Chain A
């Protein structure tokens, strides 16, 4: 994409001096995936299937290439970018994140930090690895897939922390608040496609596919899109006990104005709340869960027909680290309830999945792993279009990952 190219040029220009001054650092990963997948047609190809691959995909893929570049403008101000490259959709490199981070050294027991630019929302418990990769396997839960594909903070975020360590307390507290734009289409995909489980992120200037209803008519939505010039916000509060148990509450609202259109897209008012918890137990055991529920609503201009969908999902995950091995199991459920008064309930869906995964860190650079995903879902739209609303997907994935950094 062109903006990505622009960033690349800027970085190349700064490279020479930056390198000498030790101001530039990068790290990233390259992952190859081999798989068996039983799905009909992936959402990525305009189908209804919830996975990234389907039975017709060539079973050996360059799963992802991700690159973080950090430029240290000063010791406390960094410019950070994340770009990715996916082969499966014929697109170029994608720019995922680009933002300034300001991290002043603490002057007291309270510390604050700020981000300005475009970056991921701070609410995933799975995707905390390099290039937004999952630390528990390959395919994240539908919640975290959605965060990576349809949500992005394009604006400013401030966090305020009160770490217990500085006052020898068992309790640490953290507050996060953000104001952002380019959010008026976030949530659309949950209505038109529903939840999905995959390890892709959407580029800042790229669209997300929606199921094809009329053959030959490709449908897509640009999620990072400004329609009403009205910023959205999110607020988060987190409590950590003993560095072992963490509880986070999150409220998001894009405050989109419904009922008016710009550039062929309309605004979708999307809000949600999330509760997440992580519990680190002795002997390498870990429990994690995220539960989200919210609503997305749009009013088509002129005809004033209303789309109104509640969405919700929850997962529970257990992980055990053993030497360089990491074993995870995850169960999840998800649903979209069509709340509008139109006669059909096209957007209505429900589903559940089970994931078992093993990842082995052979060395700091090389990782290998395997994952089995069983995903069962029913969707009204699929029943209307194909005659069969149910789909049970088996996916067996193997990955080889190489990590690099300067």
Chain B
């Protein structure tokens, strides 16, 4: 092939790629550390934008189970409009409740009972407790975006299939110091790996230890 036509083809390909850019979807990896540079698990990452984002899929099944007198998982991120089941997998009763403004509810559950789902229509943080076992706690973050993730045991969160564009990235955590999320403007076209350092309160403030006291005398 003559050298000239090869250049032309490459230029054409380059143009195609450039034009396609806003539609191309990639993945964004976020690494979260605490101020001691330890990996921070259960950090919540979500992306908002000035433009309208596609409606989140709300048909995924979300579950916050009660097992061994603790909620599992401890932190859940769901899009607005999604529903969560609260199955009781213990041989004793639980009385699940929330008085958080985005969604107040009460779910008395006898042993091994799963009831209907609870739907979360408002964005915000919902703190879940158990009225029988006061130490039990779980956090549900309801976010108005399809692009969200939670950091794993290595402090890593991945947002897949993220269309290129400019986003406001929010990072938060149940133990974050100060009420506000950490935010950063991100260009998904050029950035695919980000690091955050979050200042969190000591663990006992947000992750209560399970008690085995059976009776509150």
Contact = CB atoms under 8 A, between A and B. Distances in A.
Nearest to B179: A168
A218 interface: no
B131 A243 contact: no
A72 B108 CA distance: 12
A105 B208 contact: no
B99 A243 contact: no
B97 A105 contact: yes
Contacts of B213: 128
A119 B141 CA distance: 41
Contact of B131 (A68, A76, A169, A170): A76
B contact patch SS: loop
Contacts of B92: 25
Nearest to A101: B216
A130 B217 CA distance: 10
Contacts of A122: 217
A342 interface: no
Interface in B130-149: 131-132, 134, 137
A170 B206 CA distance: 10
A90 interface: no
Interface residues of A, number: 32
Interface in A161-198: 163-166, 168-170
Contacts of A169: 205
A243 B208 contact: yes
A211 B201 CA distance: 57
Interface residues of B, number: 29
B26 interface: no
B160 interface: no
Contacts of B214: 27, 129-130
A386 interface: no
A310 to B, nearest CB: 27
Contacts of B216: 128
Contacts of A107: 99, 104
A128 B205 contact: no
Interface in B99-114: 99, 104, 106, 108, 110-111
A132 B95 contact: no
Interface in B188-210: 201-202, 204-206, 208-209
Contacts of B104: 107
Given A22-B110, A130-B214, A243-B209, A105 B204 contact: no
Nearest to B137: A165
Contacts of A365: none
Interface of A: 22, 25, 27, 68, 72, 75-76, 103-109, 120, 122, 124, 127-130, 132, 163-166, 168-170, 242-244
Interface of B: 92-93, 95, 97, 99, 104, 106, 108, 110-111, 127, 129, 131-132, 134, 137, 175, 201-202, 204-206, 208-209, 213-217
